[in-house]
Structure 1
Amino acid sequence: MLDLAEELAGWIEEGREFAVATVVAVGGSAPRGPGAALAVDSEGTVIGSVSGGCVEGAVYDLCREALRSGQSVLERFGYSDEDAFAVGLTCGGTIEVLIVPMTGRARTVPAAALSAAARREPLALARVARGPAELLGRALLVRPDGTGEGGLGGHPDLDRVAAAEARALLEAGRTGAVDLSASAAGWGSSRAESGGGAHCPGGLTLLVESNVPPPRMIVFGAVDFAAALVRAGKFLGYHVTVCDARPVFATRGRFPEADEVVVDWPHRYLRRAGTDARTVLCVLTHDAKFDVPLLTAALRMPAAFIGAMGSRRTHEDRARRLRSEGVTEAELARLRSPIGLDLGARTPEETALSIAAEIVALRRGGTGAPLTGAKTPIHRDGRAGERRAVA
């Protein structure tokens, strides 16, 4: 749902009532992952998508019904061999969709989360996706400092455990489901006998959506290939920085689409800027005086991807120099070089596509092989759809 934050925050400001359908679980070759959402207002206006078109009509009708009834519902969609034209996913996967009417008091916490997300504030929104009907759709907003709003309506320990799990996913920048057992949430026979709160002997499932700043892509080397890669990085949703020690090349005029253009020695800037587990580092200089100190530092820092441009001969020379600087074989194994997938790329734009394709493949666990004739799944379960179980 947070992927529609700007639009839905606008609807809230306008006083519209609406229902939101959010993917909470996927299986097999499902087109979209957990957190993907579709919203319908009381006038029938629709935004977003949960399946890329396969079941949008049925989900639209469920949203309209939720607005009429005021009740949340969890619906499962899958492929039907008996009737290929039935409502379902023709791609062969399954998805579970939570439909929640955003009306009255039920919208208070989601509205706060949507407004904050639209302002680009980091937060996690935990909602009950599977469990007792009276808890379905209940929401808890959690901020990085541990403060929050709302509650899930069960045992007091439920909010405590949910907040801890939501904060863990927020710190990792991930969205996913969390399965809570009855004991993990503090439910037990004494609680049920007391008559307070909801008793859930089978536990429940939370969908935790994280809203975090976009991941960073740092492109080292203010060359023509970098200009094309900046455009590709922005297209993929990265905050893109170009860094080069040569002020005549590292200019805003040459890289108007970059978020930042930095004039500094690459290794010095990298140490100052720091990295995290989502950072992508692309070294396009293929000049030893820049590459070696930069990669020596980079290979010892957290990063999602570290790649360097150059021929195979350049790579061998670079690897020899890095070993002489004390880089271990385990550290060197993190380096993707020569950077990019084998697409036969020649132009800067084709090369940028090759690099972007490798970044996506590494992030999603893809092989880079043609899908035609392949037996591997088209859509893989990745970190974005991670499921956690808390016993």
Structure 2
Amino acid sequence: NQVYVNLFIGGQASLHTTAGNVELTMQTKYPWDGQIELTVLPERTGEISMRLRIPGWARNQVVPSDLYTFVTKAAESVVIRVNGQVIDYNLEDGYVVLTRNWQKGDRISMDIPMPVRLVRAHEAVADDTGKMALQRGPLVYCFEGADQADERVNHALFINQGRPLVDWNEDLLHGVETIRMDGAVATYAPDQTKVINPLTLTAIPYYAWANRERDYMTIWVAENSEVVVPAPSPTLASRSTVTCSAPVRNLQAIQDQYLPENSNDHSNPYLHFWPRFGTEEWLQYDFPETSRISSSRIYWFDDGPEGGCRIPASWHLEYRSGDKWEPLKVIGDYPILKDAWNEVHFQPVTADAIRLILQARKGVSSGIHEWEVSGSE
């Protein structure tokens, strides 16, 4: 004689209970709206306990632990009505229990408030320190570059956290509710001062991302200008076109200017040639304009001893001027160092491209965190 209502989806169900068959009809726009209407149609009048699940997020609980928490508590509580009358209730293991002799046509209404909530991660999650995420109802939101005037969402920050605007967008991703907030994108000027550029941030439900062009995406956004990581100022390498000897992932990782803490740092994107073992590979920068260059440095990726990538056995650089490739005349030797920059200086040349050729060690692959090229006046 107990009926559990766990999910909120419009539809019908026919259930067998000790009081006879019961038909239930649910009408709702959940997860976009917290209004839920449940019509009870028992075969005959009888006592049944209707158990209605109240989601954790509606009880100020993001997950059943302290891994994630809401920044503030919700101002409103869930309201339950039976035939239009508000019901006082206590929760039993997360459920509202309504026990009564149900009659045909009795209506249960659930009003679950859905304010936009800010979420923080536990302080032990170092990558999310000083950042917040957005949640509305059961849906976690994210910021995708396609929805912003400036696509660099990984360098975004919240400006006004108290005025989110929720809009239904029928033509976006087959119909979604978006959240708009005042924000900004931080960048470094050439003199390395931090520049904050105002930007309206638009969030979409996380489930809907990656359905358009390849783009930037983030869930966690900096709380303020003190903790935001600014986008680096453009360099010759970051403005160049990258090509490679093999079809690898994260090709642009070597020019994104995210600096690793060590060769086995997995916190930022990196490029690797695994599972190509012991091979000679090359990477190439085609410059946006002919440039005078005089130095370069590489930070190798090495995930040993567990992983399959190691610093290379050897490497060298070539430059292109017109349609001819020539070796650079390096001052000294090519260093091969783990957990450090491998920097070389060479006689200045005018080039339209530079190529890095590396030889992987026998039985393993190679990889790169970052490759920088510096000019000469």
The structure showing larger relative contact order (alpha-carbon pairs under 8 Å, at least 6 residues apart) is: 1
More strand per residue: 1 or 2? 2
Q: Considering only CA atoms, is the larger Rg found in Structure 1 or Structure 2?
A: 2
More helix per residue: 1 or 2? 1
Bucket of the pairwise TM-score, normalised by the shorter protein: under 0.3
